[in-house]
């Protein structure tokens, strides 16, 4: 077992060691891996990685972003980033220009206070560094304007001094998005330093988790044992990976050492192993009808073998459908892969009712659910029936239909579930439903009009509508949907969203296809869906289109 340090600064921001010196120092300390996380710059990464080649240490490319939340600086670490990705370089160029503009304004303010300083002088004094307030403090100390770094901040550089210049407001959510798009793992850095209090910190972590935060710095140089325990509990509550680091700056933080912090720090390399697993595990989300299943509602031996192969290699398989969970589980039994998969590293999951239920098919347990409150569902039921449109919803074991009509007869030919006729939902539902379906076998324009009316009403704040079939209008919670289900399941399983592959053929698959790292439309898919896909299969659902996807993007 080794140990690592996932939060380190070099002279390229406000540290005092060069990237190459950090490599040598880390090896001397016995570290197996180190992450360079300079403030708002990646200028030292290539130098560090080139120098470390052939040496007994792993270099993790990273960055520490400065963002703003409730008028406080909140820092996000981006670990394992592709620092040359266009989306990342675009962000960095904009941020650097913003920082340069801010530095010119701060120099002008200090000049107004009688200090002989220019931005050009700072650049000359600290070549190849991203200029921060720490550099201003050293400049003022060296020139004799102050007697200590603390005095520099108290008189000239602190947030509440008359000379301070606020940076461009960049939100934590924005840099989380950029990090994910650059293939990295976003981590909330040293949460206790923000002095938010337990309740506000919980709110922040919840908010950032929803935005895609994957980890939290649970081990840090300044934490007390109680604070470390609190951070680990918060990470567990929101299912975040743990991270840890010293926040080493060299001589700029006296007494704080690489790898050990103030003497108590120890970050086990199992933390790094968990992150790497998140970066390498893949997950295939596949719609059922028209995608995984042939028109005869079967799969070939070739497709079945490819699914088992991906599971054996540790990748996950997700049945993503508008169907109820029971119907999906029935399909899984028919596919005859569940028993074989139990011995695999990878697992089988389901997102049913268009992402309203996330389900672990191996342990037969729910992961998360997103329902439609019964009063809201009743209003939709009443509106549809008043317009003469068939509508139905689901109890745990059966369908609740507005009428015993040809629409329900048509639907249950495919979805083999019993049904009862009842329009008073509160009378027959033991809990809020996950989905409603309006069906029109002939005049589908009536469904379009119903959809437009629902979305324009106050109900549109709670629900989303999408077609899963030209005659089926699906209605579900705004928190559900196949795209949200993909994001939510990736977060729950610590799978990076760049490794999610989604395949579908109809309109209700579009959000899933767009959310995935690779979105695929079947050859037999709706032309509109193909416009949103990264790839269209050569083979359709009757000719092993899913096997083609597994071969190209999973194995």
Residue 168 has pLDDT above 80, yes or no: no
3-state secondary structure of 397: coil
Q: Identify the CATH number of the domain defined by range 374-477.
A: 3.30.1240.10
Other CB atoms within 10 Å distance of the CB of residue 383: 17
Per-residue pLDDT averaged across 15-41, rounded? Answer: 96
Structure tokens at 541: 């659902």
Fold of the domain built from segment(s) 281-370+480-554: Rossmann fold (3.40.50)
State pLDDT tens for residues 519-536: 999 999 999 999 999 999
Cα 454 from Cα 464, distance rounded (Å): 9
Residue 406 has pLDDT above 90, yes or no: yes
Q: Among the listed ranges 93-97, 278-282, 487-491, which one has the minimum average pLDDT value?
A: 93-97
Residue 396 has pLDDT above 90, yes or no: no
Other CB atoms within 10 Å distance of the CB of residue 71: 8
pLDDT value of position 61: 98
State the DSSP H helix or E strand holding residue 215, giving kind and residue range, or none if neither. Answer: strand 215-220
Cα 64 from Cα 75, distance rounded (Å): 6
Cα 495 from Cα 498, distance rounded (Å): 8
pLDDT value of position 547: 97
Cα 250 from Cα 15, distance rounded (Å): 6
On average, the pLDDT of the chain sits at: 93
pLDDT band at residue 101 using 50, 70 and 90 as cut-offs: confident
State pLDDT tens for residues 49-90: 999 999 999 999 999 998 989 888 899 999 999 999 999 999
Structure tokens at 332: 């899984």
Homologous superfamily of 4-85+170-279: Metal-dependent hydrolases (3.20.20.140)
User: Could you tell me what percentage of the chain is helix, strand and coil, using 3-state DSSP and rounding each to the nearest 5?
Assistant: 40, 20, 35
φ, ψ for residue 65, nearest 5 deg: -85, 145
For residue 172, give Cα distances in angstroms to 96, 178, 210, 242, 383: 17, 10, 12, 18, 41
3-state secondary structure of 542: coil
pLDDT band at residue 307 using 50, 70 and 90 as cut-offs: very high
Per-residue pLDDT averaged across 415-429, rounded? Answer: 92
State pLDDT tens for residues 334-384: 888 887 777 788 999 999 998 999 999 988 899 999 999 999 999 999 999
Per-residue pLDDT averaged across 323-329, rounded? Answer: 85
Cα 117 from Cα 248, distance rounded (Å): 28
Query: Which residues neighbour 159 within 8 Å (Cβ) at sequence distance 6 or greater?
Result: none
For the chain, what percent of residues have pLDDT higher than 90?
Answer: 77
Residue 128 has pLDDT above 80, yes or no: no
> With a threshold of 0.85, does the pTM exceed it?
no
Structure tokens at 314: 């540790």
Residue 542 has pLDDT above 70, yes or no: yes
pLDDT value of position 381: 95
Q: What is the largest CA-CA distance in the chain?
A: 89
pLDDT band at residue 106 using 50, 70 and 90 as cut-offs: very high
User: HEC string of 296-333?
Assistant: CCCCCHHHHHHHHHHHHCCCEEEEECCCCHHHHHHHHH
pLDDT value of position 248: 97
Residue 442 has pLDDT above 90, yes or no: no
Per-residue pLDDT averaged across 131-138, rounded? Answer: 87
Domain boundaries, the chain: 4-85+170-279, 90-157, 281-370+480-554, 374-477
Dihedral over Cα of 296, 298, 299, 300: its sign: negative
Structure tokens at 352: 């049913």
pLDDT value of position 379: 95
pLDDT band at residue 1 using 50, 70 and 90 as cut-offs: low
Q: Identify the CATH number of the domain defined by range 90-157.
A: 1.10.150
């Amino acid at each position: 077992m080794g140990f690592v340090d996932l939060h380190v600064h070099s002279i390229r921001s406000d540290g005092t060691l060069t990237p190459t010196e950090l490599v040598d120092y880390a090896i001397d300390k016995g570290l197996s891996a180190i992450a360079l996380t300079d403030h708002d710059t990646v200028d030292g990464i290539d130098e560090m990685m080139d120098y470390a080649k052939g040496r007994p240490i792993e270099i993790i490319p990273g960055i520490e972003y400065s963002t703003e939340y409730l008028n406080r600086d909140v820092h996000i670490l981006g670990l394992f980033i592709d620092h040359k990705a266009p989306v990342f370089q675009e962000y960095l160029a904009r941020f650097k220009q913003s920082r340069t503009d801010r530095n010119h304004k701060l120099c002008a303010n200090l000049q107004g206070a009688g200090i002989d300083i220019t931005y050009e002088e700072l650049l000359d004094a600290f070549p190849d560094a991203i200029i921060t307030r720490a550099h201003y403090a050293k400049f003022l100390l060296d020139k004799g304007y102050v007697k200590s770094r603390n005095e520099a901040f108290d008189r000239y550089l602190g947030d509440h001094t008359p000379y301070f210049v606020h940076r461009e407001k960049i939100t934590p959510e924005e840099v989380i998005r950029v990090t994910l798009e650059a293939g990295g793992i976003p981590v909330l850095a040293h949460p206790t330093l923000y002095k938010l209090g337990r309740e506000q910190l919980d709110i922040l972590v919840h908010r950032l988790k929803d935005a895609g935060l994957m980890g939290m710095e649970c081990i840090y140089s300044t934490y007390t044992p109680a604070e470390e325990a609190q951070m680990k509990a918060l990470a567990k509550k929101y299912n975040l990976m743990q991270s840890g680091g010293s926040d080493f700056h060299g001589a700029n933080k006296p007494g704080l050492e690489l790898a050990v912090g103030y003497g108590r720090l120890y970050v086990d390399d199992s933390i790094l192993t968990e992150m790497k697993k998140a970066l390498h595990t893949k997950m295939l989300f596949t719609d059922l009808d028209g995608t995984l299943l042939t028109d005869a509602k079967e799969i070939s031996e070739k497709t079945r073998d490819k699914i088992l192969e991906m599971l054996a290699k540790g990748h996950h398989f997700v049945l993503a459908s508008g169907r109820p969970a029971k119907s999906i589980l029935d399909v899984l039994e028919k596919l005859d892969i569940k028993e074989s998969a139990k011995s695999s590293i990878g697992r089988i999951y389901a997102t049913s009712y268009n992402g309203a239920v996330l389900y672990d098919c191996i342990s037969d347990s729910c992961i998360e659910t997103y329902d439609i409150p019964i009063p809201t569902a009743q209003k939709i039921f009443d509106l549809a029936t008043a317009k003469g449109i068939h509508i139905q919803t689901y109890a745990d074991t059966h369908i609740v239909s507005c009428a015993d009509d040809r629409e329900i007869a048509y639907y249950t030919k495919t979805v083999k579930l019993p049904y009862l006729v009842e329009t008073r939902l509160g009378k027959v539902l033991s809990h809020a439903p996950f989905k409603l379906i309006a069906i029109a076998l002939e005049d589908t324009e009536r469904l379009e009009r119903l959809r437009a009316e629902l979305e324009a009403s106050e109900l549109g704040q709670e629900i989303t509508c999408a077609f899963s079939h030209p005659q089926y209008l699906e209605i579900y919670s705004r928190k559900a949907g196949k795209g949200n289900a993909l994001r939510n399941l990736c977060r729950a399983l610590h799978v990076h969203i760049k490794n999610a592959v989604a395949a579908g053929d109809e309109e209700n698959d579009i959000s899933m296809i767009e959310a995935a790292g690779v979105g695929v439309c079947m050859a037999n898919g709706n032309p509109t869906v193909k416009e949103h896909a990264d790839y269209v299969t050569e083979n359709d659902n009757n000719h092993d289109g899913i096997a083609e996807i597994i071969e190209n993007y999973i194995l």
